[in-house]
Structure 1
Amino acid sequence: MKLCGVCILTDNAPRLSAFYEIVLKESPVVEGQHYGFDSAQLAVYNPGQVNVVNDKNMSIMFYVHDVLAEYERLTQAIPGIGITSPPERRPWGAYSFWFLDPDGNTVSFIEKKDLP
């Protein structure tokens, strides 16, 4: 079994998609209210006349080559981005930082130097 990807349900797909377009440095493939970021295996989707519950219980994690460079890029590109944990070495060894997307989901960038 292999993870296919992550789909974030939201009441405002265009707004959340615009945020992830900056974060991922990728333009989405758009079909109606479905925004697919293929290389990141992430989709943002508005399910229609559904109120998406604001209780968040997930975290989206991405490997990056350089945590500090990404931290600088995002804090400059998205004024007021909700950094919840600045870049630091975690007790389990990961070097990462965490921030919130516009819907309050936690996003982590984790340094991995040997990315393809």
Structure 2
Amino acid sequence: MKFGGVCIETDNASRLAEFYKVVLQEEPFVEGSHYGFGKVAIYNPGGVTVAKEKNIWLTFGVVDLDAEYGRLLREIPDIEVISTPEKKPWGTYSFWFADPDGNKISVFQEREDNKITAG
């Protein structure tokens, strides 16, 4: 089995798509209320109730964590930072933030040996 991607259902797809457009630095493919960013999709099928508590995190690896953190703070001034850049107890250098719907996102610095130590 191969992972194909994730779809975030929301009651405000255009708002969430604008947020992820900045985060992912790419224009989405748009078809109606569906916004595609490669393996991340944003969709409003209608009648969605956005849950307050989330049980899933999106995780992205970057080469320069501090530069990415600074970019997001500049480009999304009201970003909800959960955890500033720090080395986590399990060894990952990362920061965490939330999107406008409260979905949590972890950004970690990729290691030189290309092993993923997400978290």
Give TM-score scaled by structure 2 length: 0.89
Count of matched residue positions in the alignment of Structure 1 and Structure 2: 113
Out of 61-70 and 41-50, give the one that drifted further.
Answer: 41-50
Unaligned ranges ≥5, structure 2: 115-119
Partner of 2:71: 73
Task: Give the Cα–Cα distance (whole angstroms) in 1 for the partners of residues 61 and 2 of structure 2.
Answer: 17
Give TM-score scaled by structure 1 length: 0.92
Out of 85-94 and 51-60, give the one that drifted further.
Answer: 51-60
Partner of 2:14: 14
Aligned alpha-carbon RMSD (Å): 1.3
Q: Which 4+ stretches in 1 moved above 3 angstroms?
A: none
Out of 89-98 and 45-54, give the one that drifted further.
Answer: 45-54
Partner of 1:110: 108
Q: Secondary structure at the match of 2:20?
A: helix
Task: Give the Cα–Cα distance (whole angstroms) in 2 for the partners of residues 50 and 44 of structure 1.
Answer: 12
Aligned partners of 1:35 and 1:43 also within 8 Å: yes
